[in-house]
Amino acid sequence: MKILFLSPTVPYPLTDGGRIRVFNLLKQIALNNDITLLALQTQPSDATSVTHIEQLGIKVHLVQNSATLPRLSLRTLTSACINRQPITVARYNVPAYRQKLRELLISGTYDLVHYEMFHTAQFYNQTDLPSVLSQQNVDSAIWHRLTGETKNIFYKCAYWTQQRAFQRYERVLSSQFDAVTCTSDIDAKVFQQFCADDVVKVIPNGVDVSHYQPDFESEAPAHLIYIGSMDWYPNEDAVSFFADEVLPQVQKNVPDVKFSIVGGNPSTQVQQLADREGVVVTGRVPEIKPYFAEATVFVVPLRIGSGTRLKILEALAMGKAVVSTSVGAEGLILRDGEEILIANDPKDFAEAVIKLLTDPSLRKQIGEKGRERVEQDYDWRNIGKKLLTVYQSVINKESST
């Protein structure tokens, strides 16, 4: 198959869940297919990062954009209001990207166009080729949870307007595609409300089980790890919640415990957490695998989110015991008490962490069960085959009509 894959960013380095997902799917579908990637430059290092994508045999077209994503300007806000777009989508409505897409469609003969999230789905009307929309989250659910969390009236109103804008996109735009993929059955139910029968497909998140393998020689004593982009509010809220309400309870029982917050672009609020006893804020790191290896217990105290968490799958692949909230583990087929520990209340969360820190045999048992689960259900190689099956069915359906 000859696929044109539209991505809002360059999926490298593998510093967040979105990039990890896109990179691994590209890696799998490029094995026996002709893939062209169109991506927008959002940071200065992107020009160098594309070489890692090209090594997969993928042709990459990088749209230059003054080295950074457009700032949240009055123009962007105005465009969002006029076009009834979510602001995060309006920021990616870059004329140069639209023009390059038009050129590729004219010069190439593609079998299908893959649109990664609503950021690129806004360009769907430029071609009538078979189309697949890939959704990493249900964005309206994220904004709904944000609305419920904040007590600030101004933010509550702003979040509510974004929730409504994404709900409109989910209702109106999703139905324009031949297939819509999402990461869990929970997310699928949202899109099934607006799409024809058999259009919505689950392509779960996964993990490279050959790359992420148990490494207990590097494990540090009483070390808790959380990994994520620290300029994303749900991650900021998660680590703040943990440092404020959970960690002090853990420290009473395990005084030498250390909590490392690993991820790029930490906000001022996150940076200030480094002033707390036992808290380390690393900022962006070149490779996250060593931090998984160091973890005694991997914690996912998320209270806001949608989709599924790659970080949990990666931790489990490395044989790590994980404690997560229900939101953090949402959409993953994992058995509480056997492959993961689930806790939502700060007291319950702290007790689960303490139990794992002080019981090596339980920690090992849960880690081993988690590894078995990801090997069985979350290997990127199998997930890539599922996406190719979706592509082929869409192309076959289009050619038969």
Q: What is the pLDDT of residues 6-32, one digit of tens each?
A: 999 999 988 788 999 999 999 999 999
| pLDDT-based confidence at residue 67 (cuts at 50, 70, 90) | very low
The neighbour count for residue 313, using CB atoms within 10 Å, is: 29
Q: What is the pLDDT of residues 103-137, one digit of tens each?
A: 999 998 999 999 999 999 999 999 999 999 999 99
Domains defined along the chain, listed by start: 2-206+379-400 (3.40.50.2000), 216-377 (3.40.50.2000)
| Alpha carbon distance 337, 149 (integer Å) | 28
Q: What is the mean pLDDT of the chain?
A: 92
pLDDT higher than threshold 50 for residue 371: yes
Token pair 């029982």 is found at 253
Lowest-confidence pick of 55-59, 196-200, 238-242, 272-276? 196-200
For helices 139-149 and 233-241, the axis angle rounded to 10 degrees is: 40
pLDDT higher than threshold 60 for residue 214: yes
The percentage of residues in the chain with a pLDDT greater than 90, rounded to a whole number, is: 79
| pLDDT-based confidence at residue 399 (cuts at 50, 70, 90) | confident
**How far is the CA of 367 from the CAs of 318, 337, 364, 370, in angstroms?**
8, 11, 5, 5
Which residue type does 358 have? T
Provide the 3-class DSSP secondary structure of residue 38.
strand
Q: What is the pLDDT of residues 257-287, one digit of tens each?
A: 999 999 988 999 999 999 999 999 999 888 8
Q: Which one of 59-63, 66-70, 217-221 scores highest in mean pLDDT?
A: 59-63
| Alpha carbon distance 321, 284 (integer Å) | 24
CA angle 25, 27, 29 (to 5 degrees): 65
- Mean pLDDT to the nearest integer, 381-394: 96
- Mean pLDDT to the nearest integer, 277-306: 93
| Alpha carbon distance 128, 49 (integer Å) | 31
Question: Is the peptide bond between 346 and the residue preceding it cis, with omega within 30 degrees of 0?
Answer: no
207 and 318 Cβ atoms separated by less than 8 Å? no
Provide the 3-class DSSP secondary structure of residue 244.
helix
State phi, psi for 113 to the nearest 5 degrees: -115, 130
